[in-house]
Structure 1
């Protein structure tokens, strides 16, 4: 029997390993080796991730399948958000699932948890950024009512890419 657990985590090594593996699986083919290596070394360094984990306005939720880390979600409120938003908003900064666990409902469970967290915190809007060429992720987010409301830059090494900003009602 497969068991799935979602729980907050502060384990920086698990978060780092999942971050590097999932980002590489998803985006290596669309970035140069140098840009990818620079991004991973900078954005997913243990000290950077530890500061994020220690931020009281951020929460990391780990998804495990039969006790094995399979992915995670990072949500932000307040000053931890990657773009300025007022007090009504919760940001889903990352939902990362290892390729071998995609299609098993983990992303759906994590997204439902994000909406539940937003409601518990009294937030009325949920927002996120998604790469403009990531059609699968955009379709997934659309199932939760997210619509495109803008865009912002996302730096991968020397390559400035465009992320779409998408928002949904938290209700």
Structure 2
């Protein structure tokens, strides 16, 4: 039987799985290259159910969740206006796109990007942008395959460590 992937707008009922995917994916992706203290600090500040609940209720942020056979597999946080982590005018920011490691390679990330593009079009926006850690080669390669290009960089603080994110954009 073929496994089904559904992408939909997240609701308050999705807060717990979103927080869990965020913690799990962030840990899987970055624990080998950051200190345990910095990881613990960042995760405890950014992936609590309380923090996700506050973000999901914001009027300038949209959360999408991907379900694989009814189970949460990925989520994406999109920002416009003042919710953007860096002011980019009339653009849509992909602040987070996290796919559980066990679900990578199923096309979920590409489908999430396509959903972001459609949301931008509906809102009359012609540009999507995001930040990705300069040393996250798999993510950089993925976004390049999806048509994004580097246009700048900015600082990203993980715990006490100041890192560099490459800012990437795609015109739609």
The question of a shared fold, defined as TM-score above 0.5 by the shorter chain, is answered with yes
Q: CA deviation at 1:76?
A: 0.7
- Tell me the distance in 1 between the aligned counterparts of 2:148 and 2:51: 29
Name which of 67, 70, 74 aligns with 2:73. 70
Aligned counterparts, 1:14-163, within 5 A = 14-87=17-90, 89-163=91-165
Task: Name stretches of at least 5 consecutive residues in structure 2 with no aligned partner.
Answer: none
Q: Deviations over 1:2-58 (max 9, x none)?
A: 011001112211111010001011111011111100000011122221111010111
- Tell me the distance in 2 between the aligned counterparts of 1:101 and 1:47: 26
Per the normalisation by structure 2, the TM-score is 0.96
Secondary structure in structure 1 of the residue aligned to 2:105? coil
Name which of 154, 166, 169 aligns with 1:167. 169
- Tell me the distance in 2 between the aligned counterparts of 1:137 and 1:158: 23
More displaced 10-residue stretch of structure 1: 7-16 or 101-110: 7-16
Runs of 4+ in 1 over 4 A off after TM superposition: none
Q: CA deviation at 1:96?
A: 0.3
- Count of aligned positions: 169
- Tell me the distance in 1 between the aligned counterparts of 2:98 and 2:19: 11
- Tell me the distance in 1 between the aligned counterparts of 2:126 and 2:79: 14
